């Protein structure tokens, strides 16, 4: 399973922020696209595997502080995404389609 291979690789080779690996290198090493790498990282995190990330790249957490820093970064991203959604919802007013799910195909 690809996610398990990623967990094993990061834990064995990228333990701690100082041993982080940049996404392009990790993509090449794992033989996956950037989108697939992000999906696998997300899947592992939901399974309580401490995969962290930052400007340095991806890494397996060495301590709780590294996990906390990644959590903080993710929360900042959430705020930015919420602001983007708010802006797009406000932009819909220009189209007269201010309904939940207007124009959305499922």
| Cβ atoms of 100 and 84 closer than 8 Å | no
Residue-number span of the structural domain to which 69 is assigned: 2-92
Q: Distances from the Cα of 86 to the Cαs of 30, 77, 103, in angstroms?
A: 36, 14, 16
The residues pairing with 44 across neighbouring beta strands, listed in sequence order, are: none
| Cβ atoms of 60 and 52 closer than 8 Å | yes
Q: What is the pLDDT of residues 61-98, one digit of tens each?
A: 999 999 999 999 999 999 999 999 999 999 998 886 55
Position 101 in a domain: no
Cβ of 98: how many Cβ atoms within 10 Å?
A: 11
| CATH code, 20 | 1.10.10.10
More confident residue, 94 or 43: 43
pLDDT value at position 5? 97
User: What pTM value is reported for the model?
Assistant: 0.83
């Amino acid at each position: 399973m690809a996610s398990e291979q990623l967990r094993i690789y990061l834990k064995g080779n990228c333990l701690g922020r100082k041993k982080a690996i940049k996404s392009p290198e990790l993509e090449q090493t794992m033989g996956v696209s950037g989108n697939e790498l992000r999906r696998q990282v997300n899947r592992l995190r939901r399974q309580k595997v401490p995969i962290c990330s930052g400007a340095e790249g991806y890494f397996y957490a060495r301590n709780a502080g590294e996990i906390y820093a990644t959590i903080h970064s993710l929360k900042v991203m959430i705020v930015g995404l919420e602001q983007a959604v708010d802006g797009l919802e406000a932009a819909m007013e220009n189209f007269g389609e201010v309904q939940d799910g207007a124009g959305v195909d499922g």
